[in-house]
Amino acid sequence: MKQFGGPAAFIDRNDINTDEIIPAKYLTEITKKALAPHLLEDLHLEGQQFDPHSAVMQAAQVLITRSNFGCGSSREHAVWALEVNDINVVIGESFARIFRQNMFNCGILAVELSKADLDRLFALKGQVTVAVDLAAEKLTATSGDATVECAFSLNAFDKKLIGAGGWLAFADANY
Partner 1 sequence: MGQTITEKIFAAHLRDTPTSGNMVLDIDVIMCHEITTPIAIMDLMEKGMDRVCDPSRIKAVIDHVTPPKDSKTAAQAKIMRDWARRHNIKDFFDIGRNGVCHALFPEKGFIRPGNTVIMGDSHTCTHGAFGAFAAGVGTTDLEVGILKGVCAFRAPKSLKIEAVGALPKGVVAKDIILNIIKQLTVNGGTDMVIEFCGPVIDAMNMSSRMTLCNMAVEAGATSGVCQPDLTTAQYLWPFIKDEYASPEAASESFACWRSDADAHYERVLTLDVSTLAPQVTFGFKPDNVKDVSELEGSKVDQVYIGSCTNGRIEDIREAAAIIKGKTIAASVRGILVPATPAIYSQALEEGLIKIFMDSGFCVLNPTCGACLGMSSGVLADGEVCASTTNRNFNGRMGKGGMVHLMSPASAAAAAVTGEITDPRRFLN
Binding site for partner 1 (CB under 8 A): 15, 17, 19-20, 23-25, 27-30, 42, 44, 67-68, 71-77, 79, 94, 96-99, 101-102, 105-106, 155-157, 160, 166-168, 171-172, 174-175
Whose Cβ is closer to partner 1: residue 4's or residue 80's? 80
- Cα-Cα end-to-end distance for the chain: 22
For the bound state, the minimum distance from the C-beta of residue 12 to partner 1, rounded and expressed in Å, comes to 17
Region of 122 (left: φ > 0; alpha: ψ -120 to 50; beta: rest) is alpha
Contact 64, 122 (CB under 8 A): yes
| Structural element, H or E, at residue 55 | helix 55-59
Whose Cβ is closer to partner 1: residue 112's or residue 117's? 112
Contact 35, 83 (CB under 8 A): no
For the bound state, the minimum distance from the C-beta of residue 58 to partner 1, rounded and expressed in Å, comes to 23
For the bound state, the minimum distance from the C-beta of residue 125 to partner 1, rounded and expressed in Å, comes to 29
Contact 10, 62 (CB under 8 A): no
For the bound state, the minimum distance from the C-beta of residue 155 to partner 1, rounded and expressed in Å, comes to 7
d(CA 151, CA 116): 12
Whose Cβ is closer to partner 1: residue 29's or residue 86's? 29
Residue 135 CA, distance from chain mean position: 19
Whose Cβ is closer to partner 1: residue 67's or residue 129's? 67
For the bound state, the minimum distance from the C-beta of residue 14 to partner 1, rounded and expressed in Å, comes to 9
Contact 88, 115 (CB under 8 A): no
Whose Cβ is closer to partner 1: residue 94's or residue 129's? 94
